[in-house]
Structure 1
Amino acid sequence: MAINYQNRLETLQKSLENQDIDVAMITSPANVFYYTGFNSDPHERFMGLIVDNRNQEYTLFVPALDEEIAADESIVKQVVPISDEENPFKKLKDTLGENITSFGLEMKSVSMYQHNQLVTHFPEASYVDIQPSINAQRLRKSESEMGYVQQAVDIIEKVLAEGIKKVKIGMTELELTAELEYLMKKYGAEGPSFSTTVLSGEKSALPHGSPSDRPFQKGDFLLIDMGVIRDGYCSDITRTFMIGEAADKQKEIYDIVLKSNQAGVKSVEAGVPVKTFDIEARNVINAHGYGKYFNNRVGHGLGIEVHEEPSIHEMNEDPAEQGMVFTIEPGIYIPGFGGVRIEDEVYINESGKVEVLTSFPRELQILGG
């Protein structure tokens, strides 16, 4: 599953030329990885890929402690280390010189501090947002990327299948979370792609709730939302279960969410507006009178990041394209009662048709009885 980083860099360079950008600075770790193969979180230290269009050169600036691994992993072999006592922006200026009129930046990634440093060291430059060009390039996943995404999906589904065998009444949300995250590493993941969500009973109505020491009780919803990173690519899946038994209203809500999930998935194809997938899923929930309990978008893109383009919401007029990977994850969340979410990952293939990457069963399962 080899990835051609050189092609990616050349595509970016042409885009910068079309925008008359002299120099671009890429600081988002996800984008640095996308273009170089070097995957690292520098934390508070500076890391940046510099694309110099004046001489078609690429330079990777990294914290000094990462120099060796960057030189090994990055396709960009001109690696400049920055030690902790150095000012990275002075080092940038020493390397690039002063005759820069147009500087490309990812505006969402650049802090006010970084902006002030750039203005101080490159006072003649104007700044252009290159985030849209990068997003457009990353939007369509290659066959190699799909292999990595599928690998991450396969691992998380093994984790889920094995993890739910541990569920029993009296176990806490945090205890199950620990079991699941242990299994992630056991099955070859680098780690979770986001904070593992295990919510039970009334807490399952909190779409972004956190696991606690709440013990599982008979008749609880159990919502598990998790994913892993493997070889730099993410997965994300949600399934909702019942513990011990299911009441009629719980079954009814589950069935509506499942129908909504399937309607969303079935509507996916290239050429139609992205909003279609949200609307088709939402219409099912609205038709059953639960619309006010579903107040977030139906999905999001994923790949190197667990949340990236496209955003699957009812106002997104952009046409769906071949190569897009995203989630379909409708839910009904009733405060004080509980919630259900069923989340799948889908891909628009070369024929413009939907392929569902997740295969974990969607019918209601009762656990820990």
Structure 2
Amino acid sequence: MADVAAILRPKTAEALAAMVAEARKLEIIGGGTKRGVGRVIGAEAVLSTQALNRVIDYAPEELVLTAQAGVRLADLEALVAAQGQMLPFEPPHLTRLLGSRGRPTLGGVLAANLSGPRRIRAGAARDHFLGAEAVTGRGEIVKAGGRVVKNVTGYDLCKLLAGSWGTLAVLTEVSLKVLPAARAELTLLYFGLDDARAAQAMTQALNAPVDVSAAAHLPGATAARSPLKVAMAVTALRLEGFAASVAARADHLAAALQGFGRCDRLDAEHSRGFWVQVREVEAFSRDPRPLWRISVPPAAGWRVGEAIAGDALYDWGGGLVWLASDADPGQVRGAVRALGGHATLYRGEAPAFEPLDGALAALSARVKAAFDPRGLLNPGRMGMV
């Protein structure tokens, strides 16, 4: 990482573009909370978007918000909550998990394409990314998409930037779709299921006509950790909406899953607290082992714990697995590939991102060359220098 004393904090997109045009290699950060995910190689300065921190336009009646990339995520969440709305993809902050003292920004969350437990119903962060202004590695300001839900011009460019981790362009302004917040929520808890049985329960629940908004499984060793501290495995299913609808759907789901054993219910307050713990992966916040974020087909999720030694937390009905493990990184990646997925190392010494090869590597190199031909933005972070 570059010397933190050399932090550039432009206040406009034009100023940021001028800094990029100077042709120095730059580490790009928002709040700096995810700097440890992937290594930036040879950066000569740090460029922060924190001074780009204005909400430009918020139209609650249109369900659209436009803000600069450096706006703090917590401030945006408070803003929309005051209007009875929410960021639908339930973005995680991960500050405790990653040992950060910073505060995540909107641009950082979108650059990493981070989504919380509601992803199984609402979609990923990129699915709510309507428009963007960004500065490429050429020092050019580009715009894509728009500020209304119907405008999809350039939408694929937004999707390309989401998940690029600042290696293609620096986000300066984004437009997002927001949604009304649920009036009520309730979580059903099942206890003592092994991973395979829990996967069956989550699959059945997600296929039932009850609109489950989150499904997670914490095996016994994970559930026993702070802050949950439960003596056996926990499988959780969340329902959201109007109170009467939530109650009726909970009864229907409990009846459909009665073969999976005892069922407890968490009221709205305790449900919210539980899903914050899942979203922030609190069970592994103090675990010194390398931590992997693994995406696999949900039906194969439980097999990750079977194939790789370690402790797991299964989110998205099994499609997202957080795994704390001392296993060899090559073994982890090989086992995950065999299951049809990919793995990102969020804490640890090995390269963070899955190495690309063949046609995919060639395509990635062409995209990088189009946006950042001199390799100025986050050099080396995703294996791109």
Q: Give the TM-score category using the shorter length.
A: under 0.3
Of structures 1 and 2, the one scoring higher in RCO (CA 8 A, sep 6+) is 2
Larger Cα-atom Rg: 1
> TM-score, normalized by length of structure 2?
0.25
> TM-score, normalized by length of structure 1?
0.26
